[in-house]
Amino acid sequence: MQPKIKSKVVCTDREIGEVARVIVDPLTRDISHLVVKAGGLELMVPTEGNVSAVTDETVRLNCASGDLAKFGRFHREEFVQVQEVEIAHLERHLDVTPGEVLVPLPLLERDLSRRSFFTKFTNAIGAVLALPLIFPALKYIMYPMYQPFNNSWIKLGREQSAQTDIPKLMKFQKTVQEGFLKREFEKSHWVIKPSPELREKIYAERGGEKSLEFRDERGNLLWKNRPDAEVVVLSGKCPHLGCAFRWRKHRVFGQAFVCPCHLSIFDSTGKVLDGPSPRPLDLLPTQVTAGGEVKIIDMEFKAGKQAQIRIV
């Protein structure tokens, strides 16, 4: 009978552990060694001369537990699973599944793995030496990713062109630096000249006073919108996934902001009336110059989050 994986291993004086794996001789196709797990160690026990009896659940060794030190330690890297090598008719000789059945890795391949270690080691040294040359180029390419937020004020349009409580879409050209490329594209935001009632609702919807404040990347106060501002500006990006939306007629809500992507619907304060948007439309830092010019800081916030997290 062949020793089985998971069988108890018993010395002449006591049980010491179990068979964790078996090792097969690829020439004779017999089990040459048992890997015995005993006291946290894995020992290679040659079957010849050491196994006195094998039953369905037990392997008996003919040595005492105190003599186990004579067996060598098992080193997994010196073996390979039988599935990975071709040994003819092995299944006819072996009946030990399930578990790890191993054959010794040929000496040549052990050398190969050692050689591949030296190749990797040499590559690593090469990489360390090349780093001072590559670093300035990497720094140049990645620099824009680590730039602080752009907090410059952008002109959006003239306040006089908006009607009270009716959102007006205002477009502007934005230039961004991506790597070493400069890109210009059109963006738009919604400008509202609110009546005092609407303005109050807009701020109430976003937690009052704190919705007027905007902070930089360090959390320092960057700008505070005036509580009695003559205009408020709502970001033109839907907080759900960033689509552009429109102010249009709606058969249930009358007039509403409607996002065509997943049908989020907002009222004129930006409050979510329906759909998947996790937060109201985002307010932007806004000021109106003495000449009636509406200016904003073009912030962008993380889509799909309830909290307003600035990303640009």
Which residues make up the interface to ligand FES (CB under 6 A)? 238, 240-241, 243, 259, 261-262, 264, 275-277
74, β-bridge pairs:
none
Closest distance of CB 166 from ligand FES, Å: 21
Nearest approach in angstroms of CB 234 to ligand FES is 13
Alpha carbons within 13 angstroms on the beta-carbon side of residue 253 total 16
Shortest Å, Cβ 84 to ligand FES: 50
CB of 215 or CB of 262, closer to ligand FES: 262
Cβ of residue 185: shortest distance to ligand FES, in angstroms? Answer: 18
Residue closer to ligand FES by CB (options 105, 241) is 241
- Give me the torsion for CA of 162, 163, 166, 171, rounded to 10°: -10
Q: How many residues does the chain have?
A: 312
Q: How far is the CB of 303 from ligand FES (least distance, A)?
A: 7
Residue with tokens 């439309």: 281
16 vs 259, which CB is nearer to ligand FES?
A: 259
Distance of CA 197 to the CA centre of its chain: 44
CB nearer to ligand FES: give 90 or 169: 169
> Whose Cβ is closer to ligand FES: residue 110's or residue 305's?
305
Q: Diameter of the chain by CA atoms?
A: 102
Is 264:275 a contact under the CB 8 Å cutoff? yes
For residue 68, list its beta bridge partners: none
Choose between 46 and 275: whose C-beta lies nearer to ligand FES: 275
Nearest partner of 289 among 158, 165, 197, 172, judged by Cα = 158
What value, to the nearest 5°, has the Cα angle with vertex 198 and ends 254 and 248?
Answer: 30
Strands 246-250 and 8-10: unpaired
Q: How far is the CB of 207 from ligand FES (least distance, A)?
A: 22
- CB-wise, 174 or 262, nearer to ligand FES? 262
Whether the link from the prior residue into 144 is cis, omega within 30° of 0, is: no
Question: In the bound complex, what is the minimum distance in angstroms from residue 20's beta carbon to ligand FES?
Answer: 54
299 near 312, Cβ under 8 Å?
yes
